Amino acid sequence: MASMTKRKPNRTQNKSCANIGSAYRYGGNCAGLNPEYRPPPSPLPMKILLRWFLAVLALGLVVRRACAASEAEDIAAVTAADNERVAAILAGDAERLGALLSDDLRYAHSSGHIDTKATALAATASHRTVHERHEYLERKFTEVAPGVVLMTGRVIFHERSGGQPQVLDLNFLAVWRNEGGHWRFLAWQSCKNPMESK
C-alpha cells in the first residue's frame, strides 16, 4: 500500500490570516484574502489634536483683541469728530462744519424739515438760528460695521430763532461714516420728547 504523504500546513497563510476576526471588523478583509487591503490610518495622537486646538484658540483671542482695539480707536475718533461738529455749530462756523459733513448728508429735523449738506451750511452761515448750547443727556456710539458708527441718545438744544429763545428736548439717531480715512456726519433723525407733566 502506497505510503501517504503528509501535506505540510501553509504557515504563511496561517500567519497572515491569524487574526481573521480582527480583519472582519475592518470590512472583512485579510492580507491573506485580499492582497490590496490596507489597514485604516491610525488616529492622530491626542497631543497633536490638543496642540491644534490651543493654537486655534490663541489665534481667535488675538483676532478678537485686535478687533476690540480697532473699534475703540474708531469710537474715540468719532467722539472727537462729533465734539468738533458741535463746537462748529455753536460758533456758527460753516466752513469748519462743512469739513465734517458728508456730501450725502440727510438731516431730518424733529419738525420734519430735511436738510442736505448745502442747505445745512447755508442755514449755519445765515445765523438765522443762534445755537447757544447743546447739552447731551445721553450719547452712545456703536460700530455696526467697518467704517459705520451709529450715535444714539438724548440732547437738549438751547437756541434763539428770530430773537426768540427756544429749548428742544430730543431723542436722536445719527450715523457717522468713514470716508477716505475721515469720519463724516452722514445722517440725523430726531423726535421731540413729550413734555413732562408737573
> How high does pLDDT run on average in the chain?
82
The full set of domains in the chain, from first to last, is 76-192 (3.10.450.50)
- Residues 13-32, mean pLDDT to the nearest whole number: 46
Q: What order do you get walking across the sheet with 164-179 strand by strand?
A: 114-115, 101-108, 182-192, 164-179, 148-161, 129-145
pLDDT in tens, 107-149: 999 999 999 999 999 999 999 899 999 999 999 999 999 999 9
Three-class SS of 97-136:
HHCCEEEEEEEECCCCCEECHHHHHHHHHHCCEEEEEEEE
pLDDT value, residue 189: 97
pLDDT value, residue 66: 64
How far is Cα 112 from Cα 110, in angstroms, rounded to an integer? 5
pLDDT value, residue 7: 52
Query: Would you give the DSSP letter of residue 183?
Result: E
- Please give the sequence-ordered ranges of beta strands (E in DSSP) within the chain, or none if there are none: 101-108, 114-115, 129-145, 148-161, 164-179, 182-192
pLDDT value, residue 118: 98
* 124 alpha carbon, distance to own chain's centre: 35
How far is Cα 132 from Cα 165, in angstroms, rounded to an integer? 10
pLDDT in tens, 53-69: 777 777 777 666 666 66
* 45 alpha carbon, distance to own chain's centre: 37
